[in-house]
Structure 1
């Protein structure tokens, strides 16, 4: 009798334990729906076996735009690229002479493109400057907003036509001032008072960089990221708003990796924006500033005619991500775009990325860097990279595996953005939450995916229809050989 009671109690304990583990597992399930997920961090990754996440470096495509007009010049900067329908717009500060932040000589200019590759400067008749009535100036006589004016295309549903474009700009003296426009060319203040003030920010110094805002469909609110100083280091704060006027108390962003805290470095600009193919993921291509890290000698600086005092620091572009909240993921602490060959690339405040990544071809996207700062050759340069290709999960020739965390999806097919060698491949197994292969979707039934495509439908012997698993908790097991996996997506 006692033995029976003991066995009964043991079974009950096991059932309770199994029930609790099931609840815990369900609590940890990630619901991705039909979102595109990039292999850019460890957010969805449970295990890696002989597979590693690698940072992919963009390719230099040369000069995109020269800052050669009399009102542009050496100190052009704080660029923003926006795609509005079939038109690309580039906004940037015009400043031929150095001076205090927010001085009256600063203007904001505009260039346009049909493809994001070839750019022209429109001849507008909005402001007259230095005797030129036809120019590409969209904002003047608006100091200090013209120091770091940063536009956005407002995609919030129901926005009035005359507020399709919004922008913020200003310094510590003025606070961040909100602007709006119907056409992206003619601008006015949204209200006279600044929308984010120094009294809201518990730090000693702020706003003296490119501060940005955007409408987040993921969070269903406006999000703003701006620069502060904390502990003598340039840091980033985040605040949110429902109406672009009233903003929450800012929080200081932290930096993390999947296994701990990341280094705190000077980040001059943050350039955080929703990735256009996966807007729940905010990509930050930030300017990392290394004060006092001098490369050039006085003689080298004179040879390239760099403005005095602008060659005693260095900077480059780094990659971070965030999905909202109070921290950036810094899976890759190294440089995303390194300074190029030659003295011109190693001066102070050069290599600063423009805000936003845009698509510039069927399989290509582009990021732009402000280069040759404080030099007569000041310009904007374009760098291209594969769609979704900021980073990838990479397996060597001898092979490896990636296993996701438990997730649910919606859709009837799984597509992958991938590339293999001629000898390489990717096979996908779909498992239940416990790791057991599901009938019809086991590794033995998976077809090899060989090639190099932005969107390939994954198939098994019975085909590619996964709709029977939609809404159920599953894991994905990617078995890879000499291959890169950039992204995957359920849908169809």
Structure 2
């Protein structure tokens, strides 16, 4: 077996890559802490629902883009996506957010608002290559509307004869946006799509909403391109009709599907808006937070509630999926963010926002919450308007290798590392412990680093130094193939890292 070269880079137990053998170990999803609501509706036009979040760290500040819906009485007869309004807020600490007074667009109540686009639904990302001199980029679908000139001439037509495209907009300052004239993909991709530059492969990638016949379940498709603004490649289907504007309906088989419901999911399950991140604080870790929607069309509750009465209605929560390449995904089946109680702010839908920020030993993310189910706004369910909630996760804490009080062990495949110390991100609380043995590539314990000589790691720490009776130094083993054997009792291990003799975060 060829050893894995890990150097001094952090490695996480998100999957079985670092588990060659185990007994009594389980990989466990760790939900985040639901913290406070950090942004609530400030006006009538924000009260319908918050959705389509993007969070960015910009020059030491945090920027939050979010969408709301123009109320019926001010919509000028327009329907659907033409009424989406994209707004922006800013924060110094990620807790207290101030709406930026952009002063750009009047949707009927003057320009004193934080609106920067109208008619779009998508996500914002920072382009490290600053294509066309712009850091800020938006990707999504656009609907022509009278309020924003950049939307004029765009196509996003719903109904039985769907037709649309994926557009890009760019900005130098994050406030003033212009549209790239030609769309990058000629497909009707509703809801929230995303793109970003993936430095691991040196290409731009996009995760888009598709449909899987015959049920037409929502699925996640993936595209990639060497350049951002040119038309992105796909495999044409000559049997599909082309709309009057030269565009198509939903993606079906033109791009590969990378996330989809399967036989373990209940009927009418939809997987979409995946919120994919190349996790920057460990090596080769992709995490995604797809919204998992259970459509209740056709269900009967025999008077208990209103299930099955509206079309395209049902509850929605957030899942976790992990990958090493952004293509092949493992989706955990228990919710990553669960719904709250019926009638509470998060009792109907929770949508994860795109983006994560590091605050010390925590990862902060944001989700939109609503007491209403998907397309259930007009049901007679109890509840008030929702908002934007902070979610707090331990650094690297999405998944852990766990053992109960009866204990467990795991052994890694052969590894080659650099650095004189080994650190663990581990939670042993008060009664747990972790011991580490270093073996040669054949699995034979190395004298001085045997399990019998190991000093246990206990309590709870992000970067706990591993010791043996002779001390913590492992430098003489650097550069040669070794295996790590972990023995756990009532403990969680999230990851490990070799490095210099100080704590690593």
* TM-score for the superposition, normalised by structure 2: 0.80
In structure 2, stretches of 5+ residues that fail to align are 73-77, 142-155, 157-161, 235-254, 378-382, 501-505
Change (3 A) 1:121 1:168: same
Query: 8 Å contact 2:428–2:458 — kept in the other structure?
Result: yes
Query: 8 Å contact 1:446–1:460 — kept in the other structure?
Result: yes
Deviation, structure 1 residue 444: 2.3
Q: Are 1:405 and 2:413 matched, yes or no?
A: yes
Q: Are 1:323 and 2:324 matched, yes or no?
A: yes
Match of 2:429, SS state, is: strand
Q: Are 1:113 and 2:91 matched, yes or no?
A: yes
Match of 1:490, SS state, is: strand
Structure 2 Cα separation of the partners of residues 442 and 479 of structure 1:
11
Provide the residue aligned with 1:180 in structure 2. 170
Q: Are 1:339 and 2:329 matched, yes or no?
A: no
Q: Are 1:480 and 2:488 matched, yes or no?
A: yes
Query: 8 Å contact 2:345–2:369 — kept in the other structure?
Result: yes
Q: Are 1:64 and 2:38 matched, yes or no?
A: yes
Structure 1 Cα separation of the partners of residues 58 and 411 of structure 2:
38
Deviation, structure 1 residue 160: 5.6
Query: 8 Å contact 1:312–1:347 — kept in the other structure?
Result: no
Deviation, structure 1 residue 129: 3.0
Structure 2 Cα separation of the partners of residues 100 and 421 of structure 1:
53
Provide the residue aligned with 2:243 in structure 1. none
Deviation, structure 1 residue 468: 2.9
Q: Are 1:469 and 2:477 matched, yes or no?
A: yes
Q: Are 1:126 and 2:134 matched, yes or no?
A: no
- Of the three residues 211, 217, 220, the one matched with 1:229 is 211
Query: 8 Å contact 2:101–2:113 — kept in the other structure?
Result: yes
Provide the residue aligned with 2:350 in structure 1. 351
* TM-score for the superposition, normalised by structure 1: 0.82
Q: Which structure features the higher share of helix residues?
A: 1
Provide the residue aligned with 1:458 in structure 2. 466
Deviation, structure 1 residue 174: 3.5
Match of 1:253, SS state, is: strand
Structure 1 Cα separation of the partners of residues 335 and 165 of structure 2:
32
Matches within 5 A, 1:307-318: 309=310, 312-318=313-319
Post-superposition Cα deviations, 1:177-197, rounded to whole Å, max 9, x if no partner, equal 1121122222112x3110122
Match of 2:224, SS state, is: strand
- Of the three residues 260, 267, 271, the one matched with 1:267 is 271
Structure 2 Cα separation of the partners of residues 311 and 343 of structure 1:
20
Q: Are 1:87 and 2:89 matched, yes or no?
A: no
Post-superposition Cα deviations, 1:431-455, rounded to whole Å, max 9, x if no partner, equal 1221112233222232211121111
Structure 1 Cα separation of the partners of residues 474 and 311 of structure 2:
58
Provide the residue aligned with 1:10 in structure 2. none
Change (3 A) 1:176 1:399: same
Query: 8 Å contact 1:44–1:405 — kept in the other structure?
Result: yes
Q: How many residues align?
A: 439
Structure 1 Cα separation of the partners of residues 194 and 259 of structure 2:
18
Change (3 A) 1:129 1:96: closer
Change (3 A) 1:255 1:124: closer
Structure 1 Cα separation of the partners of residues 300 and 425 of structure 2:
40
Query: 8 Å contact 2:272–2:291 — kept in the other structure?
Result: yes
Provide the residue aligned with 2:136 in structure 1. 165
Match of 1:195, SS state, is: coil
Structure 2 Cα separation of the partners of residues 66 and 471 of structure 1:
54
Q: CA RMSD in A?
A: 2.9
Provide the residue aligned with 1:14 in structure 2. none
